[in-house]
Structure 1
């Protein structure tokens, strides 16, 4: 069994989008939009191709990770560049086998090697604390609404990279594609049933959870 992690190439695009669709289908909403996000993000100026990887098992793509630019804006309007990742996808039949961890750890190491300052992401804390991510409240970095959420986390890639900062984090507009194109795009894939599932309500609750931790 050979595991390879390499940069995504154009020939991988459709396979990556198919895996992404399968991985997220009915997870956060009925259906999925993450494959559409992957499709549109590549064309956005904030897309970071040198950090967008696929993972292969014996030459077969089983997952991918996308990176994009983000920024922290302080009270004086000064902007500080950071990066973010997502979507991260592993084909459902390979879930919980460590492939996602390998992909994330590889990309973090590469981001550090390339000189990026910090990564800020949104997700379930229990997924990401093991990589060293911690609530952005620790650094007094809120979402644009001024609130600190448990699901918004940061990982400095250099010592002290976030210590002197405070402000709001803004993810790339590329992470919020125009939804009007989703339905037509999704119709280019095999039909799948959209379902309302308990995990979707769990995600909604987690996404709005306020960080009450003391750091």
Structure 2
């Protein structure tokens, strides 16, 4: 399939909202993307779209998070959320292409790790493993196998542990 993965443009905002609403069957994720886009957690270049024949058919967003350990040391990381593909284009590798492109871009601009809350059989193919491996915990109750991390560079999570602190916009959506 001929799909272009690229950074979002301001003209894509409405289409990105439509993709998220359709993929999730509700407006919450679209609203979350809008809130995050206008927050300090937003990273220019890490909101990516999949475009086919001029139509936005997929979207992924990576935003800044912190991991804070018991000694109050703070480590920068990214959250992968949300990832959305229009229903007619799901299960065709578009979401995977968006995730791979986002992980590569995050690595290129200097990030060391990414955290995701997601399906335990899907995300490991991108290198994600339970975050508990590094003693990294979610700030809420979640199954261990669904809360995962990936090192973008070798030893990217060395000496990193603690509780993830998401942007406050995640709570508002």
Shift of 1:147: 7.5
- Separation in 2 of the partners of 1:33 and 1:8? 19
Counterpart contact for 2:77–2:113, Cα < 8 Å? yes
Gaps spanning 5+ residues in structure 1: where? 26-30, 180-215
Aligned to 1:67, which of 37, 62, 65? 62
Gaps spanning 5+ residues in structure 2: where? none
Shift of 1:158: 1.4
Shift of 1:145: 5.5
Q: Using a 3 Å threshold, how does the CA distance of structure 1 residues 12 and 145 change in structure 2: closer, same or farther?
A: closer
Counterpart contact for 1:141–1:148, Cα < 8 Å? no
For the residue of structure 2 that corresponds to 1:51, the secondary structure is: strand
Q: Deviations over 1:137-194 (max 9, x none)?
A: 10011123688722110001111121212211112212222x5xxxxxxxxxxxxxxx
For the residue of structure 1 that corresponds to 2:30, the secondary structure is: helix
What count of residue pairs does the alignment treat as equivalent? 173
For the residue of structure 2 that corresponds to 1:35, the secondary structure is: helix
Counterpart contact for 1:23–1:92, Cα < 8 Å? yes
- Separation in 1 of the partners of 2:132 and 2:110? 24
The alignment's TM-score, normalised by the length of structure 2, stands at 0.93
Match of 2:95 in 1: 100
Counterpart contact for 1:137–1:148, Cα < 8 Å? no
- Separation in 2 of the partners of 1:147 and 1:131? 20
Match of 2:28 in 1: 33
Is residue 91 from structure 1 mapped to residue 86 from structure 2 by the alignment? yes
Q: Using a 3 Å threshold, how does the CA distance of structure 1 residues 146 and 37 change in structure 2: closer, same or farther?
A: closer
- Separation in 1 of the partners of 2:71 and 2:143? 20
Q: Deviations over 1:83-126 (max 9, x none)?
A: 11111110001010111111111111111111101001111111
Alignment of 1:196-207 (within 5 A): none
Aligned CA-pair RMSD:
1.6
Match of 1:11 in 2: 11
- Between Structure 1 and Structure 2, the one with more strand by share is 2
Aligned to 1:141, which of 136, 143, 163? 136
For the residue of structure 2 that corresponds to 1:100, the secondary structure is: helix
Larger radius of gyration: 1
Counterpart contact for 2:62–2:102, Cα < 8 Å? no
